[in-house]
Amino acid sequence: MSAPPPLLDRLRTRGWRLTAQRRVVAEAMTGDNVHMTADEVLERARRLLPEISRATVYNTLNELVELGEVAEIPGPDRVRRYDPNAVVPHQHLACEVCGGLWDVHAEGVEALHPDPAALGDFEVASTVVTFRGVCAACRGR
Amino acid sequence: MSAPPPLLDRLRTRGWRLTAQRRVVAEAMTGDNVHMTADEVLERARRLLPEISRATVYNTLNELVELGEVAEIPGPDRVRRYDPNAVVPHQHLACEVCGGLWDVHAEGVEALHPDPAALGDFEVASTVVTFRGVCAACRGR
DNA sequence: TTAGTTGCAAAGGCTTTGCACGCGC
DNA sequence: GCGCGTGCAAAGCCTTTGCAACTAA
């Protein structure tokens, strides 16, 4: 059925100061199965607002991450990717060759718990599951 | 009791060309101090062989990863960490504040499988599970 | 011998920062 | 008007690379 409220609506509600740049970044992040690098976000944002700067895209992405609206995904390469779908729990397929990322669902994630003995005073906030391997495109090469 | 399965022996068997530098990197990776950054490996290696260069440490670590003897762990920060324990499956606790990593074991990892419908032609090689949160030391601040 | 390894320094790629100007509220 | 947001360029950090000298097998 209906998805959670659009990113921009959620942000407005939270009193986020709205500028053309921020709107455009949020718009660039909208959509399904989107896992863009900061550079890809910049590229998309520039189609809507050509004067936007790289620094602003980085600033805005970092804020969205801090607000918990967007998730930062560490992948096999060192490039950060951003997942607008932070609200809906899901897992990822990560290609070790091209660094690409795709959403996937897996069962049993909630059942995973670290051994309490080894946990000590570590406070777990989230469980990240990633299936690493090689994507179809990279296998063809 | 029995000596740990020496990384160096495995490598020799595989026809790895053995140099002082490589031996020292392998030694630096041995032990319980298990999730070092390249810089930390360099520091330890230098205690044993002061002339070793940073580039050689990077080269050697990358080789060990390619050989499957060491695992590269992507964390919340962009710094790569190296896990000599690649042979024994285990999971990690990752501190989002300081970037620290600790081994932990969790049950049910083998039972995780991505939804085949979304998998397509992606070939899964391994399943990575990380519990993200805040470590005891960082919570104290 | 000789192919593979090392060290140095420089380059590379991604991200952050300092500061002056501009704009939403 | 005030204070936060933006843009630019430069710096920062981690990692890789080019190349000449060296060395294990």
- From the C1' of C9, which residue's alpha carbon is nearest? B55
Give the mutation candidate from B112, B130, B134 for the A interface (greatest A CB count, under 10 A): B112
**pLDDT tens digits, residue range A94-119?**
888 888 888 899 988 989 999 998 89
Q: Tell me what percent of the residues of chain B surpass a pLDDT of 70.
A: 94
Say what the pTM is.
0.84
B30 to chain A, closest Cα gap in Å: 21
Could you give the maximum distance between any two Cα atoms of chain A, in Å? 54
* pLDDT computed for residue A5 by the predictor: 66
Q: Is the pLDDT of residue B83 over 80?
A: yes
Stated in angstroms, how far is B54 CA from C1 C1'? Answer: 29
pLDDT band for position B2 (50/70/90)?
Answer: very low
More confident residue, A6 or B41: B41
Mean pLDDT of chain B: 88
Angstrom distance, A140 CA to C2 C1': 36
Mean pLDDT for B107-113 is 90
pLDDT at residue A87, as a whole number: 73
The pLDDT assigned to B1 comes to: 46
Q: Closest approach of chain A CAs to the CA of B57, in angstroms?
A: 18
- For CA atoms B28, B40, B83, B33, the dihedral sign is positive
Three-class SS string for chain B?
A: CCCCCCHHHHHHHCCCCCCHHHHHHHHHHCCCCCCEEHHHHHHHHHHHCCCCCHHHHHHHHHHHHHCCCCEEECCCCCCCEEECCCCCCCEEEEECCCCCEEEECECCCCCCCECHHHHCCCEEEEEEEEEEEECHHHHCC
Residue A22's nearest nucleotide, by CA–C1', is D5
pLDDT of residue A53: 97
Q: Taking residues B7-27, what's their average pLDDT?
A: 90
Mean pLDDT of B66-86: 88
Q: Could you read off the pLDDT of B88-99 as tens digits, one per residue?
A: 788 999 888 877
Q: Report the mean per-residue pLDDT for chain A.
A: 88
Q: What are phi and psi of B83, to 5 degrees?
A: -120, 110
CB of A15 lies under 7 Å from some atom of strand D: no
Q: How confident is the model at residue A33 (pLDDT cuts 50, 70, 90)?
A: low
At residue A138, what are phi and psi to the nearest 5 degrees? -75, -25
A66 beta carbon to strand C: under 7 Å: no
The amino acid that residue B119 corresponds to is L
* Statement: the CB of A123 is under 7 Å from strand D: no
The pLDDT assigned to B14 comes to: 87
CA distance A109 to A127: 8
CA/C1' separation A141–C25 (Å): 54
The minimal CB distance from A126 to the residues B72, B118, B132 is found for B132
**Degrees (nearest 5) of the Cα angle B74, B48, B58?**
30
Residue closest to sugar C1' of C14 by CA: A79
pLDDT digits (tens, 9 = 90+) for B19-64: 999 999 999 998 775 789 999 999 999 999 999 999 999 999 999 9
Nearest nt by C1' to A79 Cα: C14
